[in-house]
Structure 1
Amino acid sequence: MTVHAAPAPAPPIPAPPTGCPLHAAATGSADAVDLVDPGVYSEGDPHPAWRHLRSLGTLTRHQVDDERWFWNIVRFDDADRVLRDTTTFTSERGTMLDLLGLDDPASGKQLAATDPPRHTEMQGRLKKALAIKAVDRQREMIRDLVTPLIEPLGDGGTFDFAQAMLALPMSVTGTMMGLPTTDWGWLNRLTTVCIAADDAEYQDAGGRDATLKAAHRDLFAYFQDLVRYRRNHLADDLLSVLISTQFEGRHMAPDEIVANCYSLLLGANVTTPHAPNFVMAEFIESGVLQDWAAHPEADATGLEESLRWASPVNHFLRYATRDVEIRNTRIEAGDAVVVWLGSANRDDEVFPGGSEFDIRRKPNKHLAFGIGPHYCIGHSVARVTLRTLYQELFTRFEDFQPAGTPERLRSNFVSGYKHIPITARRARGGDGRAGKAT
């Protein structure tokens, strides 16, 4: 559940005027691939281009248009350095490419767009509420939310696994935030629009920008109304934690609470669905699922490998606050840098055989949740949810088979799938691994 800043209304970053992103990515030519183009991720494969960029001894500069550009950060060590060093590389101007060249309106109000020491104080109570001990107490609640979503898989018909997974984080986070269940489906669609506005399936008749603007307006209005009501009806949930949080000697202002509600919900919908989606879409016919099901002792390492492989959050944007040198390249104060997490997590110098999926990989200190002060505040929720999902999936069902062609989300921010049609059979005696420790 990675926390991200709210994008401001802004013109979309233009796609390349000519050329096919699928062909460009396949050539491995860094100059031919526009890594900003969402089509590279929905119809192509960025990994050959990233692999080429990692082989260079310097950073490369990516020109977006006549005025906007950024440095590509593709190696693990460089990504780790940029994300840890919040003094040199700030998040306060925005963390997503949609904000390139603009200033984030959530700066100073939202965790993702606030650097230490303010960030550290702001996240204190929320971080405690989302710590593993607190989340562990809700394990059975999470299991009770997971099992109904996957139960139809055993009915004998075609099951859209990706759609079930896209609903999963909304169920878990919606419960933890105290959001009415009747709103979950609507909220899930709005947050998907916010992370994949370029995907035509999630656009209204007005097109990308109008749909995105409406989604932001509806989400912020929804949380404004909910916060206004909940102030007088506090409960044991994350929204009440935000409302009652004090920092800098005061309670959070309403706009700060709303911005962080948006961020929590958006973050949950980014990371959690796509690790299992990648496993199902890419390894259903490889023997990986059978191997994993037969060896539950690999649950923990398999979970981490699925996160490394998927790298659901595709990039983080940062700005240099001072002149600095990385990989024989001078970065000047004010320059934008983009950390490509999917590239860093396949760096062979850190992950031997990084282009291979290994459920027993260890160590596996991937960057799927980021690193440093902005390390995903909801990582424990995501890990417990995914561990529970894999446990239930592999004990309740078997003989997973593709039933159609998987479809990717069209987004340069989220690396994920939106449709994965499959079939499966109920496992004999498969009633889940209830109570198994994580």
Structure 2
Amino acid sequence: MLDITPSAARCPVAHNLGDLTDPGLYSSGDPHTTWAQLRAHAPVSRRTAADGQPYWSITKYADVDHVLRDHATFTSERGTLLVLLGRDDPAGGRQMAATDPPRHADLREPLQRALAIKQVEAKREQIRAAVLPLITPLGDGGPYDLAERMTRMPMAVIGTLMDLPHADRARLIELTAAAIAPDDPRFARPGGTQAVLKAAHRELFAYFQDLVKGRQKAPGDDLVSLLLRMELDGRRLTLGEIVANCYSLLLGASVTMAQVPVTALDELMGTPTLDDWAGDSSALATGVEEALRWSSPTNHFMRYATRDVELRGQRIGAGDPVVVWLGSANRDEEVFPDPFTFDIRRRPNKHIAFGIGPHYCVGHTVARVSLRVVMAELFSRFTEFAPAGPGRRLHSNIINGWESLPITARNRLKRAPVAY
């Protein structure tokens, strides 16, 4: 079902648009066709989810930017993802992602300091050591599941920086996957999506509570210990604040880092663009930024209007849910020339794959450094990347990404210099 504004009703294609809340649209459909039509004909439109819940859909870059920046008008505290549409987030005001400024800044600031670019760059060799075991098997000659391996990559990186026990990491990968793709059939359980989310969140928070308590007794040189030592307004962080920061960092890294290399290689394998990127170290950083724009791993964020507000002539009422589509904003023709061209040297590139405003991804430095390491090492060691069978996309309206993508590659006869 589709409930649209009068402006959308005049659009001859509006009634044929797909349901943007349907996870199947992202696993087997084409959301970009729908987003392009909405940008052109109904950039701010009232739509109805499959369960009958109405929401406002925002598809243009300028409007997405506005909604995410204006926290006073569009609050995060009632829920930030469509899985919570129609119900308030019980973590509102307590978890960093579901808290508005100024309280949000109090929760964010310690982790932001810990992840400043100098701090992360100093750990680049640790990140490289965590990445190499994941990519080295690509040279063995047989099919290599890039998506499956990259799913492990965020845990290898963040697990190293947080000093998470290796024995725990496989389970943590499963829990974070369930938290970001709760509609995926492999996580199905009685009670549906909400039961999957509740169980994943409960186990993750319990895990980090135990981890932090243990780290209090035996601190080390890691991010969790750093959070334990930090002070905020003259006091040490509470257990709940540290646990919330650990959770946010783990999920944020899992969303962005895993999907970007997979989506980029899926798009570029067999094209001159990939060879060009691999052969030009000066394009490494701009190519990673373009891969972030192109993949836009986080499909959407949700906010709730705190007051009546008008956007592009549409009146959004106080209390209405508002969903912004990052993948749509990052292909907006008014902002990105030739938006459907993967341009490894695109400048400027004001993508919002990490969001924008007060909730800009706190782990963006870790993600950027890690992605540069991954792509540089892949390009240095391998050539002739090619698909080795059909891929399988994630069944999720939260994450734009892959569950499986088998590929092959050849070892370079002479390893190319690595330039990060």
Structure-1-length-normalised TM-score? 0.89
**One of 83, 91, 100 as aligned partner of 1:115:** 100
**For residue 12 of structure 1, what is the aligned residue in structure 2?**
none
| Cα offset, 1:418, TM superposition | 1.1
**For residue 368 of structure 1, what is the aligned residue in structure 2?**
353
**One of 274, 289, 294 as aligned partner of 1:309:** 294
Change (3 A) 1:259 1:30: farther
**One of 171, 184, 188 as aligned partner of 1:186:** 171
1:372 & 1:222 partners in 2: Cα distance?
30
| Cα offset, 1:239, TM superposition | 1.6
**For residue 155 of structure 2, what is the aligned residue in structure 1?**
170
1:336 & 1:244 partners in 2: Cα distance?
38
**One of 41, 46, 50 as aligned partner of 2:35:** 50
**One of 237, 241, 244 as aligned partner of 1:259:** 244
**For residue 350 of structure 1, what is the aligned residue in structure 2?**
335
2:409 & 2:187 partners in 1: Cα distance?
28
The secondary structure found in structure 1 opposite 2:211 is helix
The secondary structure found in structure 1 opposite 2:318 is coil
**For residue 401 of structure 1, what is the aligned residue in structure 2?**
386
- Structure 2 letter corresponding to 1:64: A
Q: Deviations over 1:58-108 (max 9, x none)?
A: 511011267621111100000111111111111111111111122222222
- Structure 1 letter corresponding to 2:109: G
**For residue 344 of structure 2, what is the aligned residue in structure 1?**
359
- Structure 2 letter corresponding to 1:348: E
RMSD: 2.1
Q: Which moved more, 1:93-102 or 1:382-391?
A: 93-102
**For residue 110 of structure 2, what is the aligned residue in structure 1?**
125
**Aligned counterparts, 1:25-424, within 5 A:** 29=14, 31-56=16-41, 59-64=44-49, 68-203=53-188, 208-247=193-232, 250-424=235-409
2:280 & 2:32 partners in 1: Cα distance?
30
1:290 & 1:278 partners in 2: Cα distance?
16
The secondary structure found in structure 2 opposite 1:192 is helix
- Structure 2 letter corresponding to 1:52: Q
**For residue 8 of structure 2, what is the aligned residue in structure 1?**
none
Change (3 A) 1:139 1:367: same
1:354 & 1:69 partners in 2: Cα distance?
30
Change (3 A) 1:201 1:287: farther
Pairs aligned (count): 411
Change (3 A) 1:323 1:210: closer
**For residue 20 of structure 1, what is the aligned residue in structure 2?**
none
1:386 & 1:54 partners in 2: Cα distance?
30
- Structure 2: gaps spanning 5 or more residues: 3-11
The secondary structure found in structure 1 opposite 2:304 is strand
Percentage of matched positions with identical amino acids: 55
**For residue 7 of structure 2, what is the aligned residue in structure 1?**
none
Task: Name the structure with the higher helix share.
Answer: 2
- Structure 1: gaps spanning 5 or more residues: 1-15, 18-26
Change (3 A) 1:137 1:370: same
